[in-house]
Amino acid sequence: MNAAAPSPPLSRLLDLAAELVQAVREGRSATDWLARCPPEARAGVQALGLDALRRLGAATELRRLLAPRPPPPAVDALLCTALALLWPQAAPPYPDHTLVDQAVNAARQRTPAAVPFLNAVLRRFVRERAALVEAVERTPLGAWNHPAWWIERVRRDWPTQWQALLRAGQVRPPMTLRVNARRSTGAAYVQRLAEVGRRASLLADPRLAGCAVQLAEPCPVQQLPGFAEGEVSVQDAAAQLAAGLVLGAGAGAQALAPGARVLDACAAPGGKTAQLLERAELELLALDSDPARAARIRDTLQRLRLPGQAQVRAVDARQVAQWWDGRPFDAILLDAPCSASGIVRRHPDIRWLRRADDLRALARLQDELLQALWPLLAPGGRLVYATCSIFKAEGEQRIDAFMQRLPPGSARLDPASPGHLLPLPDNAAAAGAAATIAPSDGFFYALIHKNHESHES
């Protein structure tokens, strides 16, 4: 049996983390870049690189103060990565002198001519940190670590909570698990984790069906008991609300009958598809427009011992004539493509990759999906619209516009719809919102029923 490869030295991890930062600046996804990172370095690079991306705004402003003339992109990425990791924090990953020394070592390998410059800038920051941090935090980018357009949109959508929301994007998220309901329970899995020395707690919200477990400390999935055997998955608590809304498993809700016909319209990578099948016997069709992403749905179902439980097709859900067999669905889950602004603490590259114009294009796509799929729903059926976004343009504004386009009396918005869930301690958007869950990612949910007497326009 081969021994696991040792972790690379910190200088190598910093070099790779700087490559990740540079890739994001060039418009590449951190997730895609990390998938190609050397396996023995991936965990360390992910931890350092994502932390640097969370504070990249402050680091960029700091570099402008310390070195107004920008260095070459590769040097700038390494410098900003080191500055972000040296930024004051409650639990620094490494002592200052270690970070500076290892960043200089990384520069020797990457761009030897830049060593004196990088060394001087980092040491000056350590010496003058308090004054420099104060100066940087007087700038919007330095204070909030989000682009100006993003800050303005959050401020407009959530005038009393915008600062808390932007701060929440800087915090490492908890690691939440979904226990496979066909194999075990959340309470039993908490006990199983305790037996291997991992602390965890069961999330008590009844809408999570006793399957949601939150770890006290994140860990690689390979260290989770039963992960490879399909007993548990990683899924945030907000995302886990989807299955109950689709299945009608809550108090006073009409549950779907066994064998109900269900469409998961934008299903990759398959977490919600799998959750539905873990909790019910369904005739389920899962679609995704990208063949590579559709393959990930199949991989997810394979790991969870659910192959063959769903039909998976790589097709654009809007092109109904290409895939629909004419039989209506009892329920549709539309987890629509969106800005992913609600999961920015988990994927901090998103804030640097998105542009303001993206929201208009995404809103058009969301409208087109709603318009295409609604006629496929049987009278008496339900459609769950979801986005992992805190922007109202992708949540309540889309549903308000959609409901206005429908013929009067043809549909009703269920009062149990969670609406906007915000990544804040109380996870509530506004007075009168549905019951909240434990702090989780930002999400929007609308549950819409098609009335039995509905006639399509």
| Residues with active-site annotation | 388
CA angle 184–442–90, rounded 5-degree value: 90
Q: Which residues pair with 283 in a beta bridge?
A: 261
Whether residue 312 contacts residue 294, with contact meaning beta carbons closer than 8 Å, is answered with: yes
Q: How far, in Å, CA of 127 to CA of 142, rounded?
A: 19
The CA dihedral of 132, 92, 347, 149, to the nearest 10 degrees, is -20
Q: How far, in Å, CA of 183 to CA of 181, rounded?
A: 5
Find the helix packing angle between 115-127 and 73-86, rounded to 10°: 20
Which residue is associated with the tokens 């986005």? Answer: 387
Sign of torsion, CA 118 124 129 133?
negative
- Cα 219 to its chain centre, rounded Å, is 17
Q: How far, in Å, CA of 96 to CA of 122, rounded?
A: 9
Q: How far, in Å, CA of 270 to CA of 247, rounded?
A: 17
Q: How far, in Å, CA of 261 to CA of 332, rounded?
A: 9
The CA dihedral of 144, 150, 152, 156, to the nearest 10 degrees, is -110
Q: How far, in Å, CA of 53 to CA of 81, rounded?
A: 8
Q: How far, in Å, CA of 242 to CA of 240, rounded?
A: 5
The tokens for 102 are 């290892």
Nearest in space to 185 (alpha carbons), one of 172, 169, 168, 202: 202
> DSSP characters for 334-350?
EE-----GGGTTT-THH
> DSSP characters for 344-396?
TTT-THHHHH--HHHHHHHHHHHHHHHHHHGGGEEEEEEEEEEES---GGGTH
Q: Which residues pair with 285 in a beta bridge?
A: 263, 311
Q: Say whether 41 sits in a helix, a strand or coil.
A: helix
Which residue is associated with the tokens 């809304």? Answer: 245
